[in-house]
Amino acid sequence: MAKRVPFIEYLALEPEPHLVAKECTSCGARYFDRRNACASCEGDDFTDVEVPTTGELRSFTIVTQAQPGVPVPFVAGVVDCGGTSVKGNVVNIEPTPEHVQLGMKVRLTTVPVGVDGKGTEAVNFGFEPIS
């Protein structure tokens, strides 16, 4: 099996794929990017927390125009994963309003992004419907 590496630093692939957020130890606000201070309380101490891998689609748009080389249409959404809002694409579903619905239950999945000359595969995440 080819070596797999996460495309973004907050995607952990082992033991099972999941997201890791930075949580402010003062107020509990969660972030996926590097922080020097909390935007909610200005605290400066953070701890890593695993984000639930299932959630509910709270918002979405069907993208029909993108940069050259990006296949369209696709679904970009915001998923509530146990109280943590996660922005990500909804994959493995027909990108039409008849198929994508607010409140639908989804789970984290991995999506291959590309392979380098040494066979290392870059992996990103998306959310797929739970049937």
- What tens digit of pLDDT does each residue of 33-42 get? 889 999 999 9
What pLDDT is stored for residue 76 in this prediction? 98
pLDDT digits (tens, 9 = 90+) for 94-109: 999 999 999 999 999 9
What pLDDT is stored for residue 47 in this prediction? 97
Average pLDDT, integer, range 68-78: 95
- Look up the domain containing 17 and give its range: 4-129
**Structure-token pair, residue 130:** 């739970």
What pLDDT is stored for residue 18 in this prediction? 98
Are 50 and 66 spatial neighbours (Cβ–Cβ below 8 Å)? no
Tell me the backbone φ, ψ of residue 53, rounded to 5 degrees.
Answer: -90, 0
Q: For the chain, how many structural domains are there in total? A: 1
CA 68 to CA 64: how far, in whole Å?
A: 12
pTM listed for this prediction: 0.91
Q: Residue 131 pLDDT more than 90? A: no
Q: Residue 2 pLDDT more than 80? A: no
Q: Residue 10 pLDDT more than 80? A: yes
